[in-house]
């Protein structure tokens, strides 16, 4: 997933636990932890890791790739379009064309009816409800993700399950 990349911005990274792990694992990668100014103000740059404060609705620092982990589920579709628009801009500068990497839940289609499948769907729907009530966001199925990407003119996406309900979606400008 990080092959061929020279730089990555972890948007909405909080204090950068994931950004730090990626920077350590890939020393050639220039990693930026990007969050609200008050979240990163006291944090010190270190080696290939730097902290940048800002508003993802207004601008995201340019890089080969942008990571959005557990961020978009907190926002409604209009807000996600604004965030993804800035992310698309941020990765569109390079020659090779970058990508946006989303780690989030993808609602499973109700195709099987065994206990395991039903438990998974029930858990996902519970997450959806909690997200809606607590932060006004939502969980999305593949069609809903695809609609957001095509509304912004992204050319294609790849989607893969990684761990339980977590998926990685790689989206290309
Ligand atoms: C649910 S947390 C995700 C944290 C991290 N990505 C993770 O996987 O643990 C969402 C993060 O988005 C940040 N955030 C909220 N609004 C933002 C904005 N307008 N610009 C940049 N970051 C923002 C919050 O400060 C918070 O750290």
Has residue 129 been placed in a domain?
A: no
CA separation for the pair 81, 54 (Å, rounded)? 18
Question: Is pLDDT above 70 for 143?
Answer: yes
Q: Residue 14 Cα, ligand 1 centroid: separation in angstroms?
A: 5
Q: Residue 58 Cα, ligand 1 centroid: separation in angstroms?
A: 14
Has residue 132 been placed in a domain?
A: no
C-beta atoms surrounding 62 within 10 Å: 16
Burial class (CB in 10 A: 0-12, 13-18, 19+), 106: buried
Q: Which sign, positive or negative, has the C-alpha torsion 129, 132, 135, 139?
A: positive
DSSP-derived secondary structure letter, 106 = E
Has residue 112 been placed in a domain?
A: no
Q: What is the tally of structural domains in the chain?
A: 1
Atom of ligand 1 nearest to the CA of 68: 6
Q: Please give the pLDDT value at position 62.
A: 97
Has residue 70 been placed in a domain?
A: yes
Q: List Cβ neighbours of 135 (8 Å cut-off, separation of 6 or more).
A: 74
Has residue 39 been placed in a domain?
A: yes
β-bridge mates for residue 158, sequence order: 170
- The CATH number of the domain where 62 resides is what? 3.40.50.150
Q: Can you give the residue range of the structural domain that contains 33?
A: 7-105+139-172
Has residue 20 been placed in a domain?
A: yes
CB of 41 closer than 6 A to ligand 1?
Answer: no
Question: pLDDT digits over 103-129, tens only?
Answer: 999 988 767 778 888 888 888 889 889
Q: Residue 160 Cα, ligand 1 centroid: separation in angstroms?
A: 23
Question: pLDDT digits over 55-104, tens only?
Answer: 999 999 999 999 999 999 999 999 999 999 999 999 998 666 799 999 99
Token readout for 129 is: 């409800």
Helix (H) or strand (E) holding 85: helix 77-91
Has residue 12 been placed in a domain?
A: yes
Would you call 12 helix, strand, or coil by DSSP? coil
Question: pLDDT digits over 25-44, tens only?
Answer: 999 999 999 999 999 999 99
42 vs 165 pLDDT, higher one? 42
Has residue 73 been placed in a domain?
A: yes
Q: Please give the pLDDT value at position 94.
A: 66
CA 69 to chain centre: 4
Angle 81-86-88 from CA coordinates, rounded to 5°: 90
Closest alpha carbon to 59 in 100, 81, 90: 90
């Amino acid at each position: 997933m990080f092959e061929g990349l020279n730089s990555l911005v972890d948007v909405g990274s909080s204090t950068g636990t994931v950004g730090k792990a990626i920077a350590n694992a890939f020393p050639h990668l220039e990693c930026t932890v990007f969050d609200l100014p008050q979240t990163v103000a006291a944090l010190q740059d270190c080696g290939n890791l730097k902290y940048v404060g800002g508003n993802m609705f207004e601008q995201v620092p340019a890089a080969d790739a942008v990571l959005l982990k557990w961020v978009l589920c907190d926002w409604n579709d209009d807000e996600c379009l604004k965030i993804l628009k800035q992310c698309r801009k941020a990765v569109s500068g390079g020659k090779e064309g970058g990508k946006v990497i989303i780690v989030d839940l993808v609602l499973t289609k109700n195709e099987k009816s065994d206990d395991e499948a039903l438990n998974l769907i029930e858990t996902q729907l519970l997450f959806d409800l909690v997200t809606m009530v607590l932060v006004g966001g939502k969980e999305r199925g593949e069609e809903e993700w695809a609609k957001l990407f095509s509304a912004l003119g992204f050319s294609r996406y790849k989607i893969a399950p990684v761990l339980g309900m977590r998926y990685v979606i790689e989206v290309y400008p």
